[in-house]
Amino acid sequence: MSSEPPATLTVYQPLADQLALGRVIVQYKAENLRILPAFGPAALDVSPRIGHIHVTVDGGPWRWADASNEPVIIVGMKAGPHTILVELVDPTHKTITQQSISFIVPAVNTSHH
């Protein structure tokens, strides 16, 4: 795999209109790596290279793996500042690269006039 260009990750900020509705939709793009649900040491030999992402919210003690290659959607986050870490990882869960985004979920006004 040394002949392949390095894998890169771009994580995009969630859109304000979605945040206002209480939805955090995180889109990302991996280049020079295919996001696939293949795991374990044998998958390291696949070319072009494959992997998946790990997602951590607000520096929490847990994270989850995602191999769907779809946007990450989180609902029910409390109003206030948040940070999401997205890690691009190989099939053995070793981090290749990572990117964090920070944003503010606005308070939702639920009063009716």
Give the structural domain span for 73: 8-105
What does the pLDDT read at residue 108?
A: 74
Cis peptide before 48 (omega within 30 of 0): yes
What does the pLDDT read at residue 3?
A: 85
Residue 47 covered by a domain: yes
Residue 32 covered by a domain: yes
CATH code assigned at 33 = 2.60.40
Tell me the average pLDDT across 11-35: 95
Residue 113 covered by a domain: no
What does the pLDDT read at residue 84?
A: 98
Residue 110 covered by a domain: no
Residue 1 covered by a domain: no
Residue 2 covered by a domain: no
Q: pLDDT, tens digit, for every residue of 69-78?
A: 999 999 999 9
